[in-house]
A and B are shown apart, each in its own frame.
Chain A
Amino acid sequence: MSSPVTKSDGMVAAGTVTGPQHVSRVRQWWERLGPFVVLIALFIFFSVQSPSFLTVSNLQEIAREAAELLLVALAATLPILLGSIDLSVGSMVTLVGMAVAYYSLGSPWWVLVLICLGLGLAAGMLNGLIYVYGRVPSFLVTLGTLFLFPGIAQQVFGAVPITLSSPQLINIVEGNVAGIPIEFLIALFGLVVVALATRYTVFGRNVYAVGGNERVARQSGIRVDATKVAGFAIGGVLCGVAALLLCVRIGSGTGDMGADLLLPSIAAVVIGGTPLTGGVGGPVRTVLGVALLEVLIDGMNIMSVSPFVEQIVEGLVVIIAVVAAVRRGPGSRDAIVK
């Protein structure tokens, strides 16, 4: 060991940064684009495997089916970004869907739209209010409403499927604009609104702050409770819109119409790269998750893969996505240099 060094080179604060900066840039791009690359690969794979995959009618079919999942997955994204979770997204779809079908006979189409928006908002807000003012984990609140909403729907509107009898509404929703299904355009509109809201508004910032660290957010004067209620309420509205689309597509409202949407929607959020811990990720990533899932499901359908294999593949994709997300994420403990 040497004697004291008296060389003066001014003040140098923490850890010297050396090495090529572009390495981390490449990593960052991969973090963002990973799922996108996989999506394109799947697209090419299915197009090569089956001539009926890359056809206008099949793409329209994918777009139609993706519309509902996209809306519900967006609804699931906001609570997850907040560091919470909403397990009742599918149940809200059931509640609103049955209500729309029930009131469809004789109501003009815009009344039905108002019903779906209003009831969705009310259901989402109920979740948020119980969560915030009951001081109960959102997981438990929405586990409760997961059962509550379909129960109410069937008690009030009856246990049998209700036919949607509003030709007006069906005409509007089932149309195409320049070959693009209206359903899909509606979902796209929802996406743009949510994406802009999370990225460019004070509300969006607050969502990330609350999800990142609730104590810090509160300490910084952010209205944590209001932000949470708003996040759940917006989720409810999105579920309401999804319910309307689903109701039109299947032509009726049933007591289990939304049940199959919950798990794929959460899966889509996670595959897209929004971790369940909150504070990072966002709606644009969720789109990738939805697209990946839908292309995968549709492609396997076209290749007439057995439904069980389909299930196995879906399960594996979720697990692989989570593992990859953990590797990709910035939160790895090694990143902390002391």
Chain B
Amino acid sequence: MSEFVFLYRGAERPASPQEMQQNMQKWMSWFQDLSSGGHIKDRGQPLDTTGKVVGRKKIVTDGPFAEAKDLVGGFTIVEAKDLSEAAELSKGCPIFERNGFVEVRPVMKM
């Protein structure tokens, strides 16, 4: 078993509290599925949209912004046999319903 990080990217924010509620339920379900398969190493966290970007010259600016295309909205650490299995597991993610996508990256063993 190896570790992989799911980076959730590019999703539209839910419009109303009800949508947000429904959305959260879908994520809960999906996590439960992954968990019962023994694939969750760390559920991870959702990330707030407003933050800071520290540029290459260490200049701090506001950003990235919610409108930014492919913005990283959160992460999860999973366990899977290999990269293919990890990618397959990510297909159940509710983010796809919101026009987002999942970047699957193996944790590098140094």
Are A and B physically bound partners?
Answer: no
